Chains A and B, each alone.
Chain A
């Protein structure tokens, strides 16, 4: 538990630091809210602009503005989205839902593919199967994800015409929405699965070489039980660590996939908010992205603690 407490504290520090960095970066985006008002009202003089900047506190030092924003955000006031003409919170919620579905399904599929492939490759190292799996994983890692998404669109939407090329099917039935989800999930999964396969293989290979595996085999434990019970459990520790570390990459991948497939998720929202000078929305969305990523990290840590008894007893990190 001390381990988890430490991690939680660390995550909070990173979150606080990132909120300052992101606040500062957003401040460096072109223009400011008063510039937008000026462009909307040509009669405004520079004295008016200066007065407005003073009213909104834009002439205050960065740290003061950040503290004011943080205070408001913590009390639930994230401001108003200029582009979407609604409170930031109302704009974020549906987008987060969309992205969570995409990421969740894709992560589940990634693990469902990577575990058997990695285990099969590790069972017979340097066999033809191992080489084939290794080659595919290598190609997967080296392929630009957005290109993969484009290729999927060309194959399934342009040539075969069996799946939609974009959108989320909002307004259609559940079946239609699922149809819209197939290609994005496939693209996100193929982009990430290679790394996981390599990791599972390496972790399994390491555990399969341990003494207790030899002992279990000598005792006459069946191959199936040996792999799934004796070897897989310890091998899952590094794999779960990877899921935690990789959460940010998964989010980045979701952003790309959402852009290519024109899906209304967090990625799309962040992209539009930043390019459309929607400061409030961009700030809140980026903070949410960081928060979700750190939460993913923490959940992976929790998984580790559940899996590794040494951690539960507080005997230090693996």
Chain B
């Protein structure tokens, strides 16, 4: 290995040397690419995602419809991919939201320590111990207009997606906060922090300029792991009819439809769940792989 390799290149090599993590990363890439390509494919083939074709209900797989059609004669594969786009986008943004909240709380708790740390970590523990899903359902049912938001914003499609992203983020940050806090607790004793403080740097400056950049690894790892959880949460909420609303498909609400049809077309229930499983498994493997790769203490060579 050449001496000029940057830490990032080294981490990249360590990541790629784990075949499981590499395969999981490729799987995620392929999934993301196919869900993004779905609108292009449907427009070139001239298939309308929402077009109802009642003469063609529950059609078996054919070259035109590789996975057959659903109860309204819509193409199952296209709806799966379209649903994946909603699920993955919500998952991505909710993971980023969780990362932001978790980093802020973890950083403050770890840097200040003492009573601040105790209060914030108690809060994290309390949140973990609560019955999450009933609370999520209430949050999903509240009327944003009562919070004083303008009507036009409340009833748009965009608002529906934003709402679910916010709700899921509010509960998904605990993993990130824990990992970030542990690392911040360690970093604040480091000599470079002492040096900065000796030079008169304030807490805000030390936290943002000196500690935060060093937290990149735990944040990346925790966010990847949290993304899996967040996608599961979104799926449950959509399944219960409180997340992404039909006719916009998502993996969760496709399963709601599949449950109603479980006696007539049981295969409809297989695919959306399988894709959620593959996504979550891949995210967890990639997260573990990143942890191995980004930990300089494990570095060899």
Q: Which A residues fall within an 8 A CB radius of B?
A: 10, 14, 18, 22, 25-31, 138-139, 141-147, 150-151, 153-154, 158-159, 165, 244-245, 247-249, 251-252, 255-256, 259-260, 267, 270-271, 274-275, 282, 285-286, 289-290, 292-294, 297
| Residues of chain B within 8 A of A159, CB atoms compared | 266
| B102 smallest CB distance to A (angstroms) | 18
Q: Kindly identify which residue among A10, A143, A147, A249 contacts B132, using a CB–CB cutoff of 8 Å.
A: A249
Q: Kindly identify which residue among A143, A146, A247, A271 contacts B137, using a CB–CB cutoff of 8 Å.
A: A271
Cross-chain contact B240 with A271 (CB below 8 angstroms):
yes
| Residues of chain B within 8 A of A255, CB atoms compared | 131, 133-134
Cross-chain contact B235 with A144 (CB below 8 angstroms):
yes
Q: List 30 A-B contacts (CB under 8 A).
A: A22-B138, A28-B142, A29-B138, A31-B143, A138-B284, A142-B281, A144-B235, A144-B239, A144-B273, A144-B276, A145-B236, A146-B236, A146-B239, A150-B258, A150-B259, A151-B270, A153-B259, A154-B266, A244-B129, A248-B129, A248-B130, A251-B133, A252-B132, A252-B134, A255-B131, A255-B133, A270-B134, A271-B137, A289-B134, A293-B131
| Residues of chain B within 8 A of A141, CB atoms compared | 284
- Cβ of B37 < 8 Å from any Cβ of A? no
Cross-chain contact A138 with B129 (CB below 8 angstroms):
no
- With A142-B281, A147-B273, A153-B262 as contacts: A282 and B129 at CB distance below 8 Å: no
Cross-chain contact A142 with B228 (CB below 8 angstroms):
yes
What CA separation (Å) do A257 and B130 show in the bound complex? 18
| Residues of chain B within 8 A of A10, CB atoms compared | 122
Q: Is the interface of B mostly helix, strand, loop or mixed?
A: helix
- Cβ of B51 < 8 Å from any Cβ of A? no
| B267 smallest CB distance to A (angstroms) | 9
| Residues of chain A within 8 A of B235, CB atoms compared | 144, 146
- Cβ of B280 < 8 Å from any Cβ of A? yes
In the complex, what residue of chain B is closest to A247 when comparing beta carbons? Answer: B129
| B121 smallest CB distance to A (angstroms) | 13
Looking at B122, B143, B266, the one whose CB has the most chain A CB atoms below 10 A away is B266
| Residues of chain B within 8 A of A154, CB atoms compared | 262, 266, 269
What CA separation (Å) do A282 and B262 show in the bound complex? 30
Cross-chain contact B126 with A28 (CB below 8 angstroms):
no
Cross-chain contact B146 with A28 (CB below 8 angstroms):
yes
- With A29-B141, A151-B269, A274-B138 as contacts: A158 and B133 at CB distance below 8 Å: no
| Residues of chain B within 8 A of A150, CB atoms compared | 255, 258-259, 262, 269, 273
- With A248-B128, A255-B134 as contacts: A28 and B147 at CB distance below 8 Å: yes
What CA separation (Å) do A278 and B262 show in the bound complex? 30
In the complex, what residue of chain B is closest to A250 when comparing beta carbons? Answer: B131
- Cβ of B299 < 8 Å from any Cβ of A? no
| Residues of chain A within 8 A of B255, CB atoms compared | 146-147, 150
| Residues of chain A within 8 A of B236, CB atoms compared | 144-146, 256
Cross-chain contact A286 with B134 (CB below 8 angstroms):
yes
Cross-chain contact B273 with A151 (CB below 8 angstroms):
yes
- With A25-B138, A144-B232, A150-B262 as contacts: A293 and B130 at CB distance below 8 Å: yes
What CA separation (Å) do A58 and B210 show in the bound complex? 51
| Residues of chain A within 8 A of B232, CB atoms compared | 144
What CA separation (Å) do A77 and B147 show in the bound complex? 29
What CA separation (Å) do A32 and B135 show in the bound complex? 19
| Residues of chain A within 8 A of B126, CB atoms compared | 14
Q: Kindly identify which residue among B130, B137, B273 contacts A18, using a CB–CB cutoff of 8 Å.
A: B130
| Residues of chain B within 8 A of A28, CB atoms compared | 142-143, 146-147
Looking at B132, B134, B137, B232, the one whose CB has the most chain A CB atoms below 10 A away is B134
Cross-chain contact B266 with A251 (CB below 8 angstroms):
no
What CA separation (Å) do A255 and B281 show in the bound complex? 24
| Residues of chain B within 8 A of A274, CB atoms compared | 137-138, 141
| Residues of chain B within 8 A of A297, CB atoms compared | 129
| Residues of chain B within 8 A of A294, CB atoms compared | 129
Q: Kindly identify which residue among B138, B263, B269 contacts A286, using a CB–CB cutoff of 8 Å.
A: B138
In the complex, what residue of chain A is closest to B259 when comparing beta carbons? Answer: A150
| A82 smallest CB distance to B (angstroms) | 15
- Cβ of B139 < 8 Å from any Cβ of A? yes
Q: B272-292 CB contact bits vs A (8 Å, 1 = yes)?
A: 110011001100100000000
| A237 smallest CB distance to B (angstroms) | 17
